A and B are shown apart, each in its own frame.
Chain A
């Protein structure tokens, strides 16, 4: 069943650099997760680096806006020079931490298509694994916002009859997202169970 060999159990989590590598990673059996949260028999397909780039760009834009605002404050409002300096340093520090955190959190994301269910994992510190049996799926959405489209990304969301289901995979290549949706839908039809 799922007793696929975990290849390179202690290999670093880094997926290789070029976009779309995770598509190949899937066909090669996936990139194994390095830590204990990886459960035996599950080989996670990790996200490519595109999502990290997008998130970093978004965070950078927020940082630039904040800094610009603080600069205007320091320049125009008397008595704000020190305060805005401190705030700017804080924002910079936050961004430096965020730079790493974004990468870690994107890299913690992964999914695995098993025989009877889809498993999605996310979160580097507060981690979660969501398991959705194919037979329970009601809908599979593929969506891609303007920013995501610019980076060639799409996300897949699964819906069941329960509103609590949170199975969401961002940062896929649109073609792979569409393929995943089709595979999931097909398996859902094959294994359909009632509510």
Chain B
């Protein structure tokens, strides 16, 4: 599409007219709940019905105006989104700066076959732009188009012969559910509940529902959330790179640009380790994770997999990561005085291309950093460490789940690791 004459109308499109309804869906649900409560309360009506009607009508009006005023256009080298009524805003995103495009389908949108597009660029804090909502087919097409345009810079020419996608991995629902239940959090909660029950029985008091119910609700919702988010998790390789698709109620699919992977973390909660399971998350340049719990789709390589599968997937995003790199050495024996429980789990290893660190008592984590991705390094030494001649080194990667940290290393070794920062990545 080229810029044909009139900039105000040529090539501009709007999102689907049903969008404001979908976006307002949550508000409508809240209103319905309030109304329902009032009806249940019965005797006294706090708000007259027309007040609700007015609020709903107002919301519709605002939604409709915002829909009307928001238009987008895809030009030769930029995506332009104009919005706003009183304050007009025109945002242009250079196509070759787009890092990732996600297709998201919240529950309501999924019911009517709609999807939203979240577009990420480097350096932005969070999603750069959202197009909501488009028919699913159109959203998928647009995503493909944007990715092809963005990939041009990396020399990835769009091939005409569409090779079929290869499914690299699919997570079975049974494994996913079991894994969610056997995480460290739910297990600790169950142990806590058991302890409460035993103490309560010994003290002659029956099991208190007031304690158990919130606990069960919290654990249950966490398990359900993990399950619904990771349900049907599928990792595919297509001509445009890796892509991920998952979700029970709201389906998300997103690209996982391998050439932008800047780090990786393998997590093994205590029970998983016995069963040989692991989860893998990646740090992707330009994909910012909001908060600790928010492991978004595009940073999850696999929510749970058997170790062999996990290792196979790891080599898909970090080629050449062999056993030579992943073999780690523990810190000196005297580190046990600082960390008597977990010092055996600590480790540091690596080769010319990668640095690997291990740590964690209950949930063991293995962090991998490509040497070329390390931005800076921080060496720390507390007073006890100083007495023992040990130090801890954190390697700083772009924002993401990976956080390689070598704990309690010999001071000389720690300094060496720090100095190795910024050594350019050897040609692969």
Specify which of B375, B379, B382 is in contact with A162 (CB 8 Å cutoff).
Answer: B375
* A128 contact set on B, CB distance < 8 A: 378-381
Instruction: Tell me the B98-131 residues at the A interface (CB within 8 Å).
Output: 122
Among residues of B, the one whose C-beta sits closest to the C-beta of A161 is B398
Q: Is B377 an interface residue, CB under 8 A from the partner?
A: yes
Q: Is B377 a contact of A126 with CB atoms below 8 Å?
A: no
How far does the alpha carbon of A195 sit from the alpha carbon of B422 in the complex, in Å?
11
Report B354-394 residues with CB < 8 Å from chain A CB. Answer: 372-373, 375-383, 386, 394
Q: Which residue of B lies closest to A158 (CB)?
A: B376
In-complex Cβ contact of B422 among A37, A117, A162 (8 A):
A117
- Residue B316, interface by CB 8 Å: no
> Judging by beta carbons under 8 Å apart, are B375 and A161 in contact?
yes
* Cβ contacts under 8 Å, A165 to chain B: 375-376, 378, 396
A195 and B285 form a contact (CB under 8 A): yes
Task: Please report the C-alpha to C-alpha distance between residue A92 and residue B181 in the assembled complex, in whole angstroms.
Answer: 54
Instruction: State whether the Cβ of B418 lies closer than 8 Å to any Cβ in chain A.
Output: yes
Interface residues of B in 154-195 (CB under 8 A from A): none
A156 within 8 A of B: no
Assess whether B378 is in contact with A166, with CB atoms less than 8 Å apart: yes
Please determine whether A132 and B376 come into contact, CB atoms closer than 8 angstroms: yes
CA distance A193 to B424 in the complex (A): 8
Contact partner of A130 (CB less than 8 A), chosen from B285, B376, B383, is B376
CB distance from A108 to the nearest CB of B (A): 12
A167 (CB) vs chain B CBs: closest residue: B376
Q: CB-CB < 8 A to A107: which residues of B? A: none
Per-residue CB proximity of A100-128 to B under 8 Å, as 1/0?
00000000000000001100000001111
B196 at the interface (CB under 8 A from A): no
B123 CB to closest chain A CB (Å) equals 8
Q: Is B419 an interface residue (CB 8 A)?
A: yes
Contact, CB under 8 Å: B397 / A162: yes
C-alpha spacing A41/B50, complex, angstroms: 78
CB of B328 within 8 Å of the partner chain:
no
Q: How many residues on chain B are close to A (CB under 8 Å)? A: 28
**Interface size (A, Cβ < 8 Å)?**
27
Any chain A CB within 8 A of the CB of B83?
Answer: no
With A and B bound together, what is the CA distance between A118 and B262 in angstroms? 22
Name the residue on A nearest B122 (C-beta).
A195
A167: B residues at CB distance < 8 A: 376
From 125 to 157 in chain A, residues with beta carbon under 8 angstroms from any chain B beta carbon are 125-133, 135-136
Q: B286 — nearest CB in chain A belongs to which residue?
A: A195
Is B421's CB within 8 Å of the partner chain A? yes
Partner among A39, A130, A163 whose Cβ is within 8 Å of the Cβ of B377: A130
**Interface presence of A164 (CB below 8 A):** yes
Distance in Å: Cβ of B282 to nearest Cβ of chain A: 15
Residues of A within 8 A of B396 (CB): 160, 162, 164-165
- What separation, in Å, do the CA atoms of A166 and B398 have in the docked complex? 13
Q: Could you give, for residues 257-299 of chain B, a 1 whenever the CB lies within 8 Å of some chain A CB and a 0 otherwise?
A: 0000010000000000000000000000100000000000000
Asked if B415 is an interface residue, CB under 8 A from chain A, the answer is yes
B59 at the interface (CB under 8 A from A): no
Instruction: Verify A136–B383 contact, CB threshold 8 A.
Output: no
Q: Which residue of A lies closest to B403 (CB)?
A: A164
B376 touches A131 (CB 8 A): yes
Instruction: Please indicate the chain A residues that have their CB under 8 angstroms from the CB of B285 in the complex.
Output: 161, 195
**Of A116, A126, A131, which contacts B383 at CB under 8 A?**
A126
Most A C-beta atoms less than 10 A away, residue of B376, B381, B394, B399: B376
CA distance A128 to B419 in the complex (A): 14
Q: In the complex, what's the smallest C-beta–C-beta distance from A131 to chain B, in angstroms? A: 5
- Binary contact track A9-38/B, C-beta < 8 Å → 1, others 0: 000000000000000000000000000110
Contact B378 A130 (CB under 8 A): yes
Give every chain B residue within 8 A of A163 (Cβ-Cβ).
Answer: 399
| B397 CB contacts on chain A under 8 angstroms | 162, 164
**Inside 8 A of B372's CB, which chain A residues have their CB?**
193
Known: A131-B419, A165-B396. A136 touches B379 (CB 8 A): no
- Cβ–Cβ contact B262 & A195, under 8 A: yes
The answer on a CB contact under 8 Å between A162 and B378 is: no
Among B381, B382, B394, B421, contact of A133 (Cβ-Cβ < 8 Å): B421
Interchain CB contact under 8 A, A136 and B375 = yes
B415 to chain A: closest residue by CB: A39
**B408 to A: closest C-beta gap in Å:** 15
User: In the complex, which residues of chain A have a beta carbon less than 8 angstroms from the beta carbon of B379?
Assistant: 128-131
Considering the complex, which residues of chain B in the window 391-417 have a beta carbon less than 8 Å from any beta carbon of chain A? 394, 396-399, 403, 411, 415
Residue in chain A with minimal CB distance to B389? A36
In the A-B complex, list the 5 residue pairs whose CB atoms are closest, starting with the nearest: A133-B422, A162-B396, A162-B375, A160-B375, A164-B396
List 20 A-B pairs, Cβ < 8 Å: A36-B411, A116-B422, A125-B383, A126-B380, A127-B380, A129-B379, A130-B378, A131-B377, A132-B422, A136-B376, A158-B376, A160-B396, A162-B375, A162-B397, A164-B378, A164-B403, A165-B375, A193-B372, A195-B262, A195-B373
Known: A126-B382, A131-B378, A165-B396. 9 other contacts (CB 8 A): A37-B386, A39-B415, A131-B418, A132-B422, A133-B421, A136-B422, A160-B375, A160-B376, A164-B397
Binding site for B on A (CB under 8 A): 36-37, 39, 116-117, 125-133, 135-136, 158, 160-167, 193, 195
